Structure 1
Amino acid sequence: MEFITPGIYSGTNRSSKVLREINNNNRISLSIKTKFNEINKLTTQFLTNELTVYSQQPVQAEDVSFQTLQKSFHDLYYLLNIEEFKFDKISTINIKKLQSIYDNLKDININLDLSVADNNDVSIINGTTLQLINYYMILTSTLNLSNSIILNTLQLKNDYFYWLSIKNSNVNKIIYTVQSLPFKIYGFSQSVFNHLEKLSTNNSLTILTTQGTEEDHDLYFNWIRVKQFSHRLYKAISKSIYSTFIINNPTVSLLNITTIRTNSFKYYTDLIKYIVKYPGNLINNDINQKLSFIKSQIDDQTDKIDQLIKTNLNDKESTLLTLESILSPGIPPSDNDIQRLNSILLNIIDFNTTINQQSNIPSVLARYWPVILIGLLYGPSQSFKLYSNRYEILNWIKFNIYDTTIGFFKNWVIKPVNEVLDTLRSDDSLSITTKESLKSDLDSLERMMLEFVQDNATTSTTDINPADIHNAIQNGDLTLVMNQYESQIRTPIKSLVKGNLIRSILIQIQKTKVDGGYAINGIDKILKSQQLVFGFVSLSPSLIILYQLYTYLTSSKPIFINGKQVNVICLKSLNNIENLLILLNQHHQDDEESANNYEGQLLIEIINLIVIADYIIPKPLKSDWIKDLNELNNNEFDIDIKLKLIGKIWNVYGAYFRS
């Protein structure tokens, strides 16, 4: 089920856009454009020189042929807007208007002998006018027909990829089976009805006369009717099954029990396998038939394009023969150019009507009936439930999506970024302990030790120097306290009673506290020195998530449209172009006159690549891309140069198709 496609369909705006691309980017239209410019110059020259002579030679009022010719030329002149000629507008001209203009000329009789060009004869002037009309009609018809065939071929290619995507995917096959099931059932029922109708017309109702009451006759008559109808219905169903399941499915030869022993074990196992695989085989056969049919149509259209490519537009008769062989093969041409061109215009109108009506892709109803049915069955009730629970749904969205997103950015993006910026501004906010905590503990230990030593000093001890105590504390030296502590533990009870032992222990505890402060202060300095690293570590998860999201949104990814990977289609088209150039090169080297359509295929592949690659090639490169592809249509380059140009295209644009 597709909503948008990289291809084109008739009657869509996309078709109009592609038609402009076709009109500007193929060998046929470029040759026609050159020829249009030549004819426009001749027309301008003719109008400025010869019409002056014509105006000086009055025409009789009853000369209806001349008046009709001049009116037709006037209408054609303004329809094509030759005075302000724009080639892009020619492809959009309604061919019916051209046919209506030309239809007025089919009964006129004008002398077309232009052997004496300098004679100022009105018949020669009108003959030139008719010849100009014919040239314009031939060029416009050829352009319209070539564009229609190319557009139709591109549509067929799009249909081909549609069915190919179904063939290569089991999921798509299941979807297609569901989509086509009602229509297949309807077709089978219609087949049964047709067979039943034929059997009813071929076999008349036969009733035997028997003795009995009137009720017995009615009962017997109705029983015979039911019996014969049941028999005909059985035959009709049998024939429909045979035509649907056997003729259209070659694998059904398994069911030919006349050539296989029905009592063999292998027969029944094969029969079970066939029954299990039959739905898949039926879908595969259906898809293969459609692919084969579309491919034959593409080949037929490509042959027509190849004929138009090889047509010499400078030769009017050759161009007319080509148009007639494409539009009405096998029908001998008329001797009158006006009638021939009028017939060609009518055939182009019929051709355009036919190709606009045909489509090998199932209709919108066939593709979307499951969605429509589900919408009709569950849409109203689910819509009512959604409306009734709208506040709960909004709260869920706010809590799980909106608040989560806002919290992520606040707590994991903005806050870590601010912390990193604070660190860069030398902010000391990150700290385990305060700056004055260690200093106060150290001063307290120094006072405690100084008082302890002074209280326990003897007369024989030298004077206590506070500076020595300070240096000892700074170096973590408690020798004076430990000496007293060692002597006190010899008499622990006595020292405990006096309190000196407890005092020594408390000083050592204070020393332990100071050592812990030093350790914490060291850790604090390490943390402060690595604070910037910690800030980036806390910020890195959110940055990784944002980077991955940005990469996913901005990086080039394979484009899938209608289940078709567009870059793969472009790669296949580029590969086909290179293969066709190689085949053309071999064909020219062998100097063989074969009926191949390589040039037509090449033209189609180039235009198809221009259309499809519009989804991939960046806008700044599109003009160069189209120019490089159009050079492959340039007749001034030989095949070797075109092959080198293919290498350039691969080198410059290949990265966009491989992503």
Structure 2
Amino acid sequence: MEFTTPGIWSGTNRSARILREINNNNRISLRIRAKFKEVNQLTTLFLTNQLANYSQQQSHSHSHSEPEEKLFKILQKTFQDIYYLLDIEDFKFNKLSTIDLKKLHSYYSQLNEVEFNLDLSVADVNDELTINATTLQLINYYVLLTSTLKLSNSVIYKTLELKNQYVYWSDIKSSNFNKLIYLIQSLPYKLYIFGKNVIEHLEIHPTNDTTHSLTNYDKQGTEEDNDIYFSWIRIKKSISRFYEAISKTFGRSFTINNPSFSLSKISAVRSNTRYYLDWIKFIWKYPINLINNDLNEKLSKISKQIEENTGKIDLLIKTNLNDKESTLEALESISLNNQSQSIDNEFSTKPDIQRLNDILINIIRFDSINYYETEIPSPLSRYWPIILATLVYGPSQSIKLYSNREEIIDWLKFNLIDTVTGFFKNWVIKPINDLLNTLRSDDTLSITTKESLKSDLDSLERMIIEFAQDETSNPPDAQQIHEAIQNGDLTLVMNQYESQIKTPVKSLLKGNLIRSILIQIQKTKVDGGYAINGIDKILKSQQLVFGFVSITPSLFILYQFWSYLSSTKPIFVNGKQVNIICLKSLNNIESLLVLINNQVQHTSSSDEQFTEYDKQISKNYEGQLLIEIINLIVVADLIIPKALKSDWINDLNELNNNDFDITTKLQLVRKIWNMYGHYFR
């Protein structure tokens, strides 16, 4: 479980961005946008033609009664306020997500001051409707469309909040380690609830004052002894009651979280050993069972609320915006249902103005609903162990850190700064400079000097010439000796050496044997020089390769480090990888399309086969599909590249296109898998 929980939070910039995404990318808002365009065109025609002509007639006529004047002024004032609130002149649909419904309600409630007996049926402004009726019709349309949009956005947003909560709690449930963390995080709240239950038990089961009267007590005792005795009795009874309350409260909680414990108690008479073993097992499993029951209860509530919200969204999807009456009934059904009220026939008989006012009030109330029972714990609840440890050990550890600051700085400098600096200087910069020097010039690596071998060879040649002159009666000439030495031939010296070792003592005393040995040592030195010279030539020919080899480890380390920093890592939201959430959402979208297709086939083939149970199960498929699409748009924003974002949103919005049949939408899903599946794997 992640300690950080990015996601949907009320009152944040992220929430405003998500609201804009919802406002611009769903079937309901797209239909409302098209309807707004129609009403805006009617408004433009009305303002440029009829209202202008009516104003000119008003300037030359004074025959209107006072009620008509009041009606006209209120209508125009309300229309003007709503016109500027919605910014119809420079209308931008995405701004509607930030419209203040309270302000809209305050403007629209001005119409409650007068009574209207006007024909409010849908008609073009060129028909023979009065100016007041047309103005009121436009006002009602703007309020109705704005209310529908705000309600749909609110329901969708709250459903996304619930899905966000569901991801968080299901992630905790998926791991025992996460459950342990959650148990520690929720421990203060659970202890508070436990203490509250104990106090309630004490209040529900009071005990009578058992203080004995002095008449029933030994009257021979002193008054001080009697007071001490009665005080002790009261304390003893209070402790007994408190212990009993704790025992019963804990026992009830223990039994609820371990239902099989009741069976163990029944069988305790038969086997006391088995009873105690069961006690140990139940106590061991009690914390996990407690957390599991808590998580199951939260997930059940979230699932139920999501199902209820998807039903509302499904109703809004199927609402005909061209039929004002059906739209009003749908809004009343959803908004009044949020207040746990039933819809009577009297609502349909109310005037449209009063019905819209009630709808606005209920939508404002619905916006303020928060799911406190299932919401993600606050930062204080999640981090209280860290905060407590910081408060307890922070001051003392801070003092220790300050007093040892020089040692800490030296340690960091030696182990971190010097290590990194030495790595770059000795294993990156220096090898690169050496490699560049090799490429720029001929100052190559050498393990011997150029003249060392020549001097050793000349010395050997002189030694052999002198040896031949001293030891042989007919020495060869210098040219023959030179050629023999160049070919490594020491036959002359070896012949003398072979004859000398026959009489080693005599030759040793005369010094001839030692001279032969020293010449051979010089020959060995020359041979070593030849070998070193060969190695030197090999090194010189492969020096560029050695330069690359020496720099390869450091470059490999830098490459791996840069790859780690620049590579795309799994993004986590509420403890879940975003790509996994997207994969599940895409899978749900495809499954819902298959279910909708199956529903359509059953309905078209045989209405009898499509049972009431099937209808009950499948009635929210459209709402679930819309929620999954919007949730996928919001979550995938973290991993879809910006260059593909517009195409991604357009492809998903095509799944909301009513012009496409289910088969086409399934093909679109496959296209989405092929095009964007790489980013989710």
> Would you say 1:18 and 2:22 are equivalent positions?
no
Does structure 1 retain, via aligned residues, the 8 Å contact 2:9–2:15? yes
Q: Does 1:236 align with 2:248?
A: no
Structure 1 residues 231 and 437: alpha-carbon distance in aligned structure 2, compared to 1, 3 A threshold: closer
Q: Does 1:655 align with 2:678?
A: yes
**One-letter identity of the residue aligned with 1:302:** T
1:453–1:217: structure 2 CA closer, same or farther, 3 Å change rule? closer
Q: Name 1:40's counterpart in structure 2.
A: 40
Residue 503 to residue 40, structure 1, CA distance change in 2 (3 Å): same
Which of 391, 400, 410 matches 2:406? 391
Counterpart residue identity of residue 447, structure 2: I
Paired residue for 2:625, among 580, 584, 602? 602
| Corresponding position of 1:278 | 286
Question: What is the match of residue 265 of structure 1?
Answer: 273
Tell me the equivalent position of 1:370.
Answer: 385
Match of 1:145 among 133, 151, 158: 151
1:578 counterpart (565, 575, 590): 590
Contact 2:179 2:291 in 1 (8 A): yes
The alpha carbon displacement at 1:119 in A equals: 9.2
* 8 Å CA contact retained: 1:448, 1:507: yes
Contact 1:574 1:609 in 2 (8 A): yes
Distance 1:231 1:476, change over 3 A: closer
- Change beyond 3 A, Cα 1:526–1:124: same
- Structure 1 CA distance for aligned equivalents of residues 397 and 572 of structure 2: 30
Report the aligned-residue RMSD: 2.6
Distance 2:148 2:8 in 1: 22
Opposite residue 506 of structure 1, the aligned amino acid is: L
Output the CA distance in 1 between the equivalents of 2:235 and 2:510.
Answer: 131
Output the CA distance in 2 between the equivalents of 1:549 and 1:574: 34
Q: Which runs of 5+ in 1 are unaligned?
A: none
Q: 2:669 aligns with which of 608, 631, 646?
A: 646
Name the counterpart of 2:375: 360
Q: Which residue of 1 aligns with 2:555?
A: 543
Q: Distance in 2 between matches of 1:68 and 1:288?
A: 55
Moved more, 235-244 or 371-380: 235-244
Q: Residue 643 of structure 2 aligns with which residue?
A: 620
What is the rounded CA distance, in whole Å, between the counterparts of 1:506 and 1:352 in structure 2?
A: 107
- Secondary structure of the structure 1 residue equivalent to 2:369: helix
The structure-2 alpha-carbon separation of the partners of 1:425 and 1:221, relative to structure 1 and needing over 3 Å to count, comes to closer
Indicate yes or no: 2:5 matched with 1:5. yes
**Deviation of residue 467 (structure 1)?**
1.7
Aligned twin of 1:444: 459
**Deviations 1:601-633 (Å, cap 9, x if unpaired)?**
111111111111122112222122112111111
The answer as to whether partners of 1:254 and 1:270 remain within 8 angstroms in 2 is: no
Find the aligned partners of 1:5 and 1:360 in 2 and give their Cα distance: 12
Q: Paired residue for 1:532?
A: 544
Check 1:402–1:73 CA distance in 2 against 1; reply closer, same or farther (3 A cut): same
The answer to whether the 8 Å contact 1:110/1:126 transfers is: no
Q: Which AA in structure 2 matches 1:283?
A: I
Separation (CA, whole Å) in 1 of partners of 2:270 and 2:678: 60
Cα contact 1:249–1:285 (8 A) shared by 2: no
Q: 1:301 aligns with which of 285, 304, 309?
A: 309
SS of residue paired to 1:354:
coil
* Whole-Å separation in 2 of the counterparts to 1:315 and 1:37: 17
- Structure 1 residues 560 and 525: CA distance shift in structure 2, 3 A: same
Q: Relative to 1, partners in 2 of residues 1:207 and 1:315: Cα closer, same or farther, differing over 3 Å?
A: farther
Match in the other structure for 1:289: 297
Structure 1 residues 471-620: aligned runs within 5 Å: 471-591=483-603, 592=610, 594-595=615-616, 596-620=619-643
Cα contact 1:166–1:176 (8 A) shared by 2: yes
Q: Percent identity?
A: 65
- 1:196 is aligned to 202
TM-score (normalised: structure 2):
0.90
Structure 1 residues 487 and 3, CA gap change in structure 2 (3 angstroms)? closer
Measure the CA separation in 1 of the matches of 2:126 and 2:526: 128
The alignment status of 1:405 with 2:420, answered yes or no, reads yes
In the TM superposition, what is the alpha-carbon distance from 1:357 to its structure 2 partner? 6.8
Tell me how far 1:512 sits from its aligned partner: 1.7
Instruction: Report if the CA contact (8 A) 1:254-1:271 is conserved.
Output: no
Contact 1:488 1:495 in 2 (8 A): yes
- Deviations 1:459-498 (CA, angstroms, capped at 9, x unpaired): xx4x733221111110011122223333444444554454
Distance, in Å, in 2 between the alignment partners of 1:131 and 1:120 is 13
Contact persistence 2:97–2:150 (CA under 8 A): yes
Q: Do structure 1's residue 88 and structure 2's residue 79 form an aligned pair?
A: no
Q: Deviations over 1:106-136 (max 9, x none)?
A: 2422232378989998x72101111111111
- How far residue 205 of structure 1 moved from its aligned partner, in angstroms, is 6.2
Distance in 2 (alpha carbons) for counterparts of 1:304 and 1:48: 39
- In the alignment, structure 1 residue 129 sits paired with structure 2 residue 135: yes
Pair 1:187–1:635, CA change in 2 (3 A): same
Structure 1 partner of 2:657: 634
Over 3 Å counting, the alpha-carbon distance change for 1:480 and 1:317 in structure 2 is same
Letter in 2 for 1:641: T
| One-letter code aligned to 1:317 | E
Find the aligned partners of 2:308 and 2:100 in 1 and give their Cα distance: 25
**Which sections of structure 2, spanning at least 5 residues, go unmatched?**
604-609
Q: Which moved more, 1:353-362 or 1:169-178?
A: 353-362
Cα distance change on mapping 1:236 and 1:447 into 2, 3 Å: closer
Gap change, CA 1:589 and 1:158, over 3 Å in 2: same
TM-score, normalised via structure 1 length = 0.92
**Following the alignment from structure 2 to structure 1, what is the Cα–Cα distance between the partners of residues 510 and 255?**
119
SS in 2 for 1:312: coil
**CA offset at residue 380 of structure 1?**
2.2
* Distance of aligned partners of 1:24 and 1:117 in 2 relative to their CA distance in 1, 3 Å threshold: closer
